Each structure stands twice: as structure tokens, then as C-alpha cells.
Amino acid sequence: MHSHPHVAPAPAEEALRGAELRVTAQRVAVYRALAMHPHSSADAVFGQVREAVPGIALPSVHNVLGDLVSANVVRRVSLPDSDRALYELAQPADNHHHVQCVVCGSVQDVECAVGHAPCLTPSQSHGMRVLEATVTFRAICSECERKSSSND
């Protein structure tokens, strides 16, 4: 009896192989961290993976994130009210936007209003072919609003 039970690959491993990346413990851990906590900074990812991958250092997390971004497995988002880049898993044909609290910086996904890129047409494209519009709705979350009104 040498039958191997068919074990479906974990999503992280499937995504890495699909992008022709070697499956490493560090890459899998970073992928899983972002699956659980989208819009994390490199520091936050480091905090999440250091338990799963003993001995991993912050520069390695930056390297892994760079590899995953280059391979389109991870998307890097720069938001006006975050002082550092945030990362989330990249989904094919995903054109979602973000709403961010200007006080605490918390981020949520917002569905694209039109459903495909670019969802906004610029009044003047200066001869360039527009690929996408990156929209960030700047907002105040209900928790921050509550805090500010109770301070008055």
C-alpha cells in the first residue's frame, strides 16, 4: 500500500507555485500573515511571523515582501495617512479601493465603484494610457469620532 492521500496544497503554497516562486517557510509565513491581517506594514508582518519562523529578521521580511510584490502575489499600498507602505494579498483582476481613518490610520477595503479598472476617467490623460485609478477615501472611523466628541 503506497497510495498517497491527495492533499490539496495550502493556498499560500499554491499561490507561490503559481507565481513560479520557490516555496519557503518565510514566504509561506508572510503570505499567511497577510491573509489574516491585510494592510499590514513590514513591521507588523514581522511581528506576526517571528513566532512561526524562529530566527527570521526584519530585513528578511522586507526581502520576502519585495519578492512577493515583484511576483504580483502581494500588493503594496501607499496610503496618505500611513507613514509606511502597507501590504495585502494581490487578487487577480482586483480593483478595490481603500477607506482610511485620518486619525488612527485604520484601513478597510472598498469595492470598486465600477467593477473594473480604471474606474475613474481623468479629464486629461496627457497622452498616457490609463491603467487604473488608485482611490483612497479619507475618513474618520466611528471609534475616533466617538473619542473626539467625548473630549469636548
Could you tell me which residues are annotated as the binding site? 101, 104, 141, 144
What is the nearest approach in angstroms of Zn ion to the Cβ of residue 141? 3
Counting Cβ atoms within 10 Å, is residue 133 exposed (0-12), middle (13-18) or buried (19+)?
Answer: middle
Give, in degrees to the nearest 5, the angle at Cα 18 between 96 and 65: 60
What is the nearest approach in angstroms of Zn ion to the Cβ of residue 34? 10
Contact residue for Zn ion among 12, 21, 49, 141 (CB under 5 A): 141
Q: For Zn ion, which is the closer residue by CB, 29 or 101?
A: 101
Pick out residues in 36-95 that bind Zn ion (CB under 5 A).
Answer: 88
Closest residue by Cα to residue 38 from 12, 78, 75: 75
In a 13 Å sphere around the CA of 63, the CA atoms on its Cβ side amount to 7
Unique residue bearing C-alpha cell 477595503? 109
Query: Measured between alpha carbons, how far is 41 from 78 in angstroms, rounded to an integer?
Result: 10
CB of 62 closer than 8 Å to CB of 49: no
Interface with Zn ion, residue 135, by CB under 5 A? no
Contact residue for Zn ion among 43, 94, 109, 111 (CB under 5 A): 109
Contact residue for Zn ion among 29, 30, 101, 139 (CB under 5 A): 101
What is the nearest approach in angstroms of Zn ion to the Cβ of residue 2? 45
What is the nearest approach in angstroms of Zn ion to the Cβ of residue 48? 17
Binding site for Zn ion (CB under 5 A): 88, 101, 103-104, 109, 141, 144
